[in-house]
Chain A
Amino acid sequence: MNRSRWLRSAWIRRVWLAICMGPILFLPVGCSREGAGGSGEIPVMVSPARMAMNGGSLFVSDCRTKNIYIMLRDDLSVGGFFRVEGTPLAVGIARNRVYVGNEATGSVEVYSLPGIRLSYLGGAGGLIKRPSDLAVDQQADRIFVVDGFDKNVKVYDLNGAAITTIGTGTLLNPTVVALDTARGEVFVADYGNVNQAFGNPAGVRVFDYAGASLRTITGSSGGFSRPQGLAIDDGHLFLADAFLGQILVFDAATGTKVKTLGSFGAGPGQLQLPLDVVVDPVTKNVYVTNNRLARVEVFEKGGMVP
């Protein structure tokens, strides 16, 4: 019996997931532990958006079903979920806490791994008006949150104390953020000025952790216009373009495009409205939330760059 078939058994899968994620050991699969959650079968994922990887698990937000799904990285089966009241979008994990950007409440909510809301990053209600994405550097004790309303990136420590704000006045329509933790760089995708008469206003702006602007990879040179997912791996920037339905891979230092993954369509390996990308640093598999097709796409060894 191969491993993936073995994992298909719901109970065995549950045990496997519990082994992979000790803190979730006592969470019955499909049981919601947030304040107003439901119970029973795992609801079908319909609109996967942002994603974060934690060991052997992928945490995927779905603002239509209002759940955070916990998927097993190896076979993409859904092992559990917890409900978030509002509009969950951004998601990140550090120190056995799940950080969820809730657009409806204008806050980043902090959950325990079984899905119990513990606190709010920086305080409750409206401080981060449109938290559309976040990225965590656990070692540096920093969490970076894109606020699409204030058009900046707010920086906190993992206990929720505000540290600084990045990109105010520079960012025009920021969407997502990714970190190069080795180099201490913050990559922020920006749709740019949508009323710009000519040319392609999109770009990826790069800052250091203190907020100093370092460089920009422009959409016109990089061939993207709707950057909706960023990941950094081994000095390469992976960018999901929601318009193209493609993942573009750049040299993160020079902005030179080195390869692409996927194409627009509905078949295996094809994308419609990709909204986030994650690279497994060990296997080099690339995971993409394929929003219109309601699934997570995996490009095996897609992170390998010649």
Chain B
Amino acid sequence: MNRTVCILAAAFAALTASFLSPGPVRALIANHQCSYCHNVHGATADVLLNASSVEALCLTCHGPGGISTLKADVHLNDRNSNYPAFRITCRQCHDPHDNLPNWVGGTNIKTVGSDQDGTGLARITTPNSGVRNVAFESRGPDAGQPTLHSFADNDEDGNLYYDGVCETCHTLTRFHRNNSSGGHAHNTGETCTRCHGHVDNFLQ
């Protein structure tokens, strides 16, 4: 009896999730079960979450003291940058429910990009450039890190569209902007986070 109730509850949760997140949830299922973030019976806030921010929820595992080895923090601006102060949080770049296909025919990794407009493609609503495509793929071994196209590709595919995970937002950085201006040869092929760590607010 209890098992039946649990199965029905799980089905209800999955159905609810399908309405809330139009994409599939394969990546989520591969790494975390639904109930690890969503509380079916005791949720105290919207979308079956408890009264906590999504950022705090992510950082319970990926923040200081969290159990994940993939540590992260929000994206802050460098005090010497051309940008006014900003604070980019988890869901602005990641859809925790799945890795989506990208506009160049591949599939993104690290749940980068979300379905912004019903196309099912990985996109990001950028601060200064509207909704943009984002491509973040693994392009070969680099100590387990994705390389090249994934971060900043110097328009590797020659389509005049700078869609790397870092550059798709950047318009005022010295290097790797989302257009052809500025320098695009800065450490091309390197993994950006090797110097600008996710856990260090992407600062150097």
How many residues of chain A are within 8 Å of chain B by beta carbon?
Answer: 36
Within the complex, which residue of B10, B53, B64, B65 is in contact with A272, where a contact is CB–CB below 8 Å? B53
Nearest-neighbor residue (CB-CB) of A266 within chain B: B53
Stretch at the interface among A32-40, A194-202, A248-256, A279-287: A194-202
**In the complex, which of the residues A133, A201, A244 contacts B65, with contact meaning CB atoms closer than 8 Å?**
A133
Task: Decide if B33 touches A291 in the complex (CB within 8 Å).
Answer: no
Contact between A197 and B67 (Cβ–Cβ < 8 Å)?
no
Assess whether B64 is in contact with A275, with CB atoms less than 8 Å apart: yes
Interface status of A99 (Cβ within 8 A of chain B): no
**Residues on A with beta carbons closer than 8 Å to the beta carbon of B47:** none
From B6, B10, B60, B64, contact of A243 by CB (8 A): B60
Near A by CB (< 8 A), chain B positions 19-61 give 31-33, 35-36, 39, 42, 50-53, 55-57, 59-61
Q: Taking the complex as formed, is B73 at the interface, i.e. its CB lies under 8 A from any CB of chain A? A: yes
B104 to chain A, nearest CB (A): 32
Q: Any chain B CB within 8 A of the CB of A226?
A: yes
Most interface-central of A132, A175, A243 (chain B CB within 10 A): A243
Q: Is the CB of A198 within 8 A of B200?
A: no
Tell me which residues across on chain B come within 8 A of A176, comparing CB atoms.
Answer: 65
Give the docked Cα–Cα distance between A133 and B60 (Å). Answer: 15
Q: Which residues of B contact A107 (CB under 8 A)?
A: none
- Residue numbers in A under 8 Å from B73 (CB-CB): 47, 64
Q: Mark B175-204, 1 if CB is under 8 A from A, else 0.
A: 000000000000000000000000011000
Q: Which residues of A contact B57 (CB under 8 A)?
A: 243
The yes or no answer to A263 lying at the interface (CB within 8 A) is: yes
Complex: chain A residue closest to B39, CB-CB: A225
Beyond A132-B65, A198-B6, A292-B59, whether A264 also contacts B52 by CB under 8 A is yes
Main secondary structure of the interface of A (DSSP, over half): loop
Q: What's the Cα separation between A139 and B33 when bound, in Å?
A: 43
Q: How far is the CA of A199 from the CA of B9 in the complex (A)?
A: 11
Does A191 count as interface, using CB distance less than 8 angstroms?
A: yes
Instruction: Judge whether A148 is part of the interface by a CB distance below 8 angstroms.
Output: yes
Most chain A Cβ neighbours within 10 Å, of B32, B36, B55, B57: B36
Specify which chain A residues have a CB less than 8 angstroms from the CB of B52 in the assembled complex.
243-245, 264, 272
Q: Is A49 located at the chain interface by the 8 A CB criterion?
A: yes
State whether A197 touches B33 (Cβ < 8 A).
yes
Residues of chain A with a CB closer than 8 A to B53's CB: 264, 272, 292
In whole angstroms, how far apart are the Cα atoms of A223 and B33 in the complex? 18
A46 CB to nearest B CB, Å? 9
CB <8 Å contact, A63 and B64:
yes
Residue of B36, B65, B67 near A50 (CB, 8 A) is B65
Assess whether A292 is in contact with B55, with CB atoms less than 8 Å apart.
yes
How far apart are the CA atoms of A199 and B53 in the complex, in Å? Answer: 21
Distance of B57 from chain A, by nearest CB (Å):
6
B63 at the interface (CB under 8 A from A): yes
Q: Sorted from nearest, which 6 A-B pairs have the closest CB atoms?
A: A226-B60, A49-B64, A242-B60, A173-B67, A264-B51, A273-B56
Taking Cβ atoms with an 8 Å cutoff, the residues of B that contact A are 6, 10, 31-33, 35-36, 39, 42, 50-53, 55-57, 59-61, 63-67, 73, 200-201
Query: Can you give 16 A-B contacts (C-beta < 8 A)?
Result: A64-B73, A64-B200, A132-B65, A176-B65, A191-B67, A194-B36, A194-B67, A195-B32, A226-B60, A228-B60, A243-B56, A243-B60, A245-B52, A263-B51, A275-B65, A291-B64
